[in-house]
A and B are shown apart, each in its own frame.
Chain A
Protein backbone atom coordinates (compact mmCIF):
# COMPACT_ATOMS: atom_id res chain seq x y z
CA UNK A 1 0.00 0.00 0.00
CA UNK A 2 1.28 3.47 -0.85
CA UNK A 3 1.93 5.77 2.09
CA UNK A 4 -0.12 8.58 0.55
CA UNK A 5 -2.81 8.00 -2.06
CA UNK A 6 -4.75 10.53 -4.10
CA UNK A 7 -7.41 10.44 -6.76
CA UNK A 8 -5.44 11.58 -9.83
CA UNK A 9 -8.46 13.26 -11.42
CA UNK A 10 -8.53 15.21 -13.61
CA UNK A 11 -11.23 17.39 -12.15
CA UNK A 12 -12.52 19.67 -14.87
CA UNK A 13 -14.66 22.46 -13.43
CA UNK A 14 -16.08 25.76 -14.70
CA UNK A 15 -14.95 29.05 -13.25
CA UNK A 16 -16.81 29.85 -10.05
CA UNK A 17 -17.46 26.21 -9.18
CA UNK A 18 -16.46 24.45 -5.98
CA UNK A 19 -14.18 21.44 -6.24
CA UNK A 20 -13.05 19.11 -3.48
CA UNK A 21 -10.82 16.09 -3.32
CA UNK A 22 -9.24 13.84 -0.72
CA UNK A 23 -6.13 11.94 0.02
CA UNK A 24 -5.57 9.00 2.36
CA UNK A 25 -2.43 8.21 4.37
CA UNK A 26 -1.15 4.97 5.79
CA UNK A 27 0.23 5.80 9.24
CA UNK A 28 -2.31 6.70 11.90
CA UNK A 29 0.48 8.24 14.02
CA UNK A 30 1.41 10.87 11.41
CA UNK A 31 1.29 14.39 12.81
CA UNK A 32 1.95 16.83 9.97
CA UNK A 33 -0.05 17.29 6.80
CA UNK A 34 0.20 19.69 3.88
CA UNK A 35 -1.07 20.55 0.46
CA UNK A 36 1.48 21.60 -2.15
CA UNK A 37 0.60 23.04 -5.53
CA UNK A 38 2.52 22.23 -8.70
CA UNK A 39 1.89 24.17 -11.88
CA UNK A 40 2.62 22.55 -15.22
CA UNK A 41 6.39 22.16 -15.71
CA UNK A 42 7.12 23.95 -12.45
CA UNK A 43 8.33 22.95 -9.02
CA UNK A 44 5.99 22.18 -6.12
CA UNK A 45 5.23 25.00 -3.71
CA UNK A 46 3.56 24.90 -0.33
CA UNK A 47 -0.11 25.86 -0.57
CA UNK A 48 -1.11 25.34 3.04
CA UNK A 49 -0.61 23.25 6.11
CA UNK A 50 -3.51 21.19 7.41
CA UNK A 51 -4.40 21.56 11.06
CA UNK A 52 -6.40 19.19 13.22
CA UNK A 53 -9.36 21.51 13.51
CA UNK A 54 -9.39 22.36 9.81
CA UNK A 55 -8.24 25.66 8.37
CA UNK A 56 -8.98 28.14 5.63
CA UNK A 57 -6.77 30.30 3.47
CA UNK A 58 -8.94 32.52 1.34
CA UNK A 59 -10.88 30.29 -1.04
CA UNK A 60 -9.07 27.16 0.10
CA UNK A 61 -10.22 24.97 2.98
CA UNK A 62 -8.29 21.99 4.32
CA UNK A 63 -9.68 19.34 6.63
CA UNK A 64 -8.14 16.45 8.51
CA UNK A 65 -10.03 13.31 9.50
CA UNK A 66 -7.74 11.28 11.75
CA UNK A 67 -10.27 8.51 12.38
CA UNK A 68 -10.48 7.70 8.68
CA UNK A 69 -6.92 8.82 7.92
CA UNK A 70 -7.66 11.28 5.18
CA UNK A 71 -7.21 14.94 4.44
CA UNK A 72 -9.21 17.02 2.03
CA UNK A 73 -8.88 20.22 0.07
CA UNK A 74 -11.82 22.31 -1.06
CA UNK A 75 -11.52 25.19 -3.50
CA UNK A 76 -14.41 27.66 -3.62
CA UNK A 77 -15.17 30.06 -6.45
CA UNK A 78 -12.57 28.46 -8.71
CA UNK A 79 -10.38 30.70 -10.84
CA UNK A 80 -8.58 29.87 -14.06
CA UNK A 81 -5.35 30.37 -12.11
CA UNK A 82 -6.27 27.49 -9.79
CA UNK A 83 -5.54 25.03 -12.60
CA UNK A 84 -2.67 22.94 -11.27
CA UNK A 85 -1.77 19.61 -9.72
CA UNK A 86 -2.35 19.50 -5.98
CA UNK A 87 0.01 17.27 -4.03
CA UNK A 88 -1.01 15.75 -0.72
CA UNK A 89 2.03 15.63 1.55
CA UNK A 90 2.38 13.84 4.88
CA UNK A 91 5.21 13.66 7.36
CA UNK A 92 4.47 9.95 7.71
CA UNK A 93 7.05 9.01 10.34
CA UNK A 94 7.32 12.44 12.00
CA UNK A 95 10.92 12.92 10.96
CA UNK A 96 12.75 15.03 8.35
CA UNK A 97 11.17 13.22 5.44
CA UNK A 98 7.92 13.86 3.63
CA UNK A 99 5.77 11.42 1.68
CA UNK A 100 4.09 12.81 -1.41
CA UNK A 101 0.96 11.68 -3.15
CA UNK A 102 1.02 11.43 -6.93
CA UNK A 103 -1.18 14.52 -7.21
CA UNK A 104 -4.71 15.49 -8.18
CA UNK A 105 -5.02 17.51 -11.38
CA UNK A 106 -7.56 20.33 -11.43
CA UNK A 107 -8.45 22.18 -14.61
CA UNK A 108 -10.68 25.24 -14.37
CA UNK A 109 -12.30 26.26 -17.64
CA UNK A 110 -13.76 29.60 -18.66
Chain B
Protein backbone atom coordinates (compact mmCIF):
# COMPACT_ATOMS: atom_id res chain seq x y z
CA UNK B 1 0.00 0.00 0.00
CA UNK B 2 1.37 3.39 -0.97
CA UNK B 3 2.38 5.61 1.88
CA UNK B 4 3.36 9.21 2.45
CA UNK B 5 4.10 10.15 6.03
CA UNK B 6 4.65 13.53 7.62
CA UNK B 7 6.60 14.13 10.78
CA UNK B 8 3.85 15.77 12.83
CA UNK B 9 0.06 16.05 12.66
CA UNK B 10 -0.04 19.18 14.81
CA UNK B 11 2.66 21.72 15.51
CA UNK B 12 2.64 24.97 17.49
CA UNK B 13 5.52 27.40 17.05
CA UNK B 14 6.30 30.99 17.97
CA UNK B 15 6.91 33.85 15.58
CA UNK B 16 10.52 33.92 14.43
CA UNK B 17 11.24 30.26 15.11
CA UNK B 18 12.77 28.05 12.44
CA UNK B 19 10.38 25.23 11.57
CA UNK B 20 11.13 21.95 9.84
CA UNK B 21 8.39 19.82 8.30
CA UNK B 22 9.45 16.44 7.03
CA UNK B 23 7.84 14.16 4.50
CA UNK B 24 8.80 10.59 3.61
CA UNK B 25 7.39 8.40 0.85
CA UNK B 26 7.99 4.70 0.37
CA UNK B 27 6.91 4.41 -3.27
CA UNK B 28 10.23 5.30 -4.92
CA UNK B 29 8.56 8.32 -6.51
CA UNK B 30 10.69 10.89 -8.32
CA UNK B 31 8.37 13.86 -7.77
CA UNK B 32 7.55 15.36 -4.39
CA UNK B 33 5.47 18.41 -3.56
CA UNK B 34 4.68 20.72 -0.68
CA UNK B 35 1.32 22.48 -0.55
CA UNK B 36 -0.49 24.60 1.94
CA UNK B 37 -4.26 24.45 2.24
CA UNK B 38 -6.31 27.37 3.53
CA UNK B 39 -10.11 27.73 3.64
CA UNK B 40 -11.49 29.21 0.46
CA UNK B 41 -8.11 29.13 -1.28
CA UNK B 42 -7.63 25.44 -1.92
CA UNK B 43 -4.23 23.83 -2.18
CA UNK B 44 -1.42 26.10 -3.25
CA UNK B 45 1.93 24.76 -4.35
CA UNK B 46 4.91 26.00 -2.35
CA UNK B 47 7.76 23.98 -3.85
CA UNK B 48 8.26 20.79 -5.74
CA UNK B 49 11.16 18.51 -6.51
CA UNK B 50 11.51 16.20 -9.48
CA UNK B 51 14.76 14.58 -8.40
CA UNK B 52 17.24 14.43 -5.53
CA UNK B 53 18.77 17.85 -4.90
CA UNK B 54 16.49 19.39 -7.53
CA UNK B 55 13.79 21.86 -6.60
CA UNK B 56 11.53 24.36 -8.25
CA UNK B 57 9.45 27.16 -6.83
CA UNK B 58 5.75 26.77 -6.85
CA UNK B 59 3.19 29.54 -6.69
CA UNK B 60 3.91 30.78 -3.16
CA UNK B 61 7.57 30.08 -2.25
CA UNK B 62 8.20 33.27 -0.27
CA UNK B 63 9.20 32.56 3.32
CA UNK B 64 9.90 28.88 2.63
CA UNK B 65 12.78 26.74 1.52
CA UNK B 66 13.11 23.01 0.85
CA UNK B 67 15.66 20.27 0.96
CA UNK B 68 15.79 16.95 -0.84
CA UNK B 69 18.95 15.06 0.01
CA UNK B 70 17.43 11.60 -0.46
CA UNK B 71 14.85 10.41 -2.92
CA UNK B 72 12.33 9.40 -0.28
CA UNK B 73 12.53 12.53 1.88
CA UNK B 74 11.45 16.10 1.18
CA UNK B 75 11.69 18.74 3.88
CA UNK B 76 9.97 22.10 4.08
CA UNK B 77 11.70 24.80 6.10
CA UNK B 78 10.21 27.99 7.44
CA UNK B 79 13.27 30.10 8.12
CA UNK B 80 11.47 32.52 10.44
CA UNK B 81 7.89 31.54 11.09
CA UNK B 82 5.22 34.21 10.89
CA UNK B 83 1.56 34.17 11.89
CA UNK B 84 0.45 34.23 8.24
CA UNK B 85 2.12 30.85 7.81
CA UNK B 86 -0.45 29.26 10.10
CA UNK B 87 -1.99 26.66 7.82
CA UNK B 88 -2.40 23.01 6.91
CA UNK B 89 0.69 21.74 5.11
CA UNK B 90 0.35 18.76 2.79
CA UNK B 91 3.12 16.77 1.20
CA UNK B 92 2.54 14.68 -1.93
CA UNK B 93 4.50 12.45 -4.25
CA UNK B 94 4.06 11.04 -7.74
CA UNK B 95 6.00 8.94 -10.17
CA UNK B 96 7.70 10.54 -13.13
CA UNK B 97 6.05 10.74 -16.51
CA UNK B 98 6.94 12.49 -19.69
CA UNK B 99 6.42 16.21 -19.65
CA UNK B 100 2.85 17.05 -20.49
CA UNK B 101 1.42 13.94 -18.89
CA UNK B 102 0.49 13.20 -15.35
CA UNK B 103 0.56 10.54 -12.68
CA UNK B 104 -1.62 10.51 -9.59
CA UNK B 105 -0.33 12.44 -6.59
CA UNK B 106 -0.47 10.66 -3.25
CA UNK B 107 -0.81 12.86 -0.22
CA UNK B 108 0.40 12.60 3.34
CA UNK B 109 -2.01 13.17 6.25
CA UNK B 110 -0.98 16.82 6.63
CA UNK B 111 0.58 18.93 9.38
CA UNK B 112 -1.55 21.62 10.97
CA UNK B 113 0.90 24.35 11.90
CA UNK B 114 -0.06 27.17 14.23
CA UNK B 115 2.31 30.11 14.60
CA UNK B 116 1.66 32.24 17.65
Interface residues of A (CB under 8 A from B): 4, 8, 31-32, 42-46, 87, 91, 94-98, 100-103
A42 to chain B, nearest CB (A): 7
Interface residues of B (CB under 8 A from A): 31, 35, 39-45, 48, 50, 58, 90, 94, 99-102, 104-105, 107-110
Instruction: Please name all residues of chain B whose beta carbon is closer than 8 Å to the beta carbon of A4 when the two chains form the complex.
Output: 42
Q: B31 touches which one: A45, A96, A100 (CB < 8 A)?
A: A96
Q: Determine whether the beta carbon of A97 is less than 8 Å from that of B58.
A: yes
Q: A32 touches which one: B43, B94, B101 (CB < 8 A)?
A: B101
Instruction: Please name all residues of chain A whose beta carbon is closer than 8 Å to the beta carbon of B102 when the two chains form the complex.
Output: 32, 91, 98
B35 to chain A, nearest CB (A): 8
Question: Which chain A residue lies CB-closest to B96?
Answer: A96
**Complex CA distance for A20 and B102, rounded to whole angstroms:** 26
Instruction: Please name all residues of chain B whose beta carbon is closer than 8 Å to the beta carbon of A43 when the two chains form the complex.
Output: 90, 107-110
State the majority secondary structure of interface residues on A: loop
Chain B CB within 10 Å, residue with most, of A31, A46, A97:
A97
**Complex CA distance for A15 and B34, rounded to whole angstroms:** 36
Q: Determine whether the beta carbon of A100 is less than 8 Å from that of B42.
A: yes
**Complex CA distance for A42 and B37, rounded to whole angstroms:** 12
Given A97-B58, A98-B102, A101-B42, 13 more contacts at CB 8 Å? A8-B40, A31-B100, A45-B107, A46-B104, A87-B42, A87-B43, A94-B99, A94-B100, A96-B48, A96-B50, A97-B45, A97-B48, A102-B40
B30 to chain A, nearest CB (A): 10
Instruction: Please name all residues of chain B whose beta carbon is closer than 8 Å to the beta carbon of A32 when the two chains form the complex.
Output: 101-102
Q: List 9 A-B contacts (CB under 8 A).
A: A32-B101, A43-B110, A46-B105, A96-B50, A96-B94, A100-B43, A101-B42, A102-B40, A102-B41
Q: Determine whether the beta carbon of B42 is less than 8 Å from that of A44.
A: no
**Complex CA distance for A42 and B110, rounded to whole angstroms:** 8
**Complex CA distance for A97 and B43, rounded to whole angstroms:** 12
**Complex CA distance for A95 and B102, rounded to whole angstroms:** 8
**Complex CA distance for A103 and B109, rounded to whole angstroms:** 18
Chain B CB within 10 Å, residue with most, of A31, A91, A96:
A96
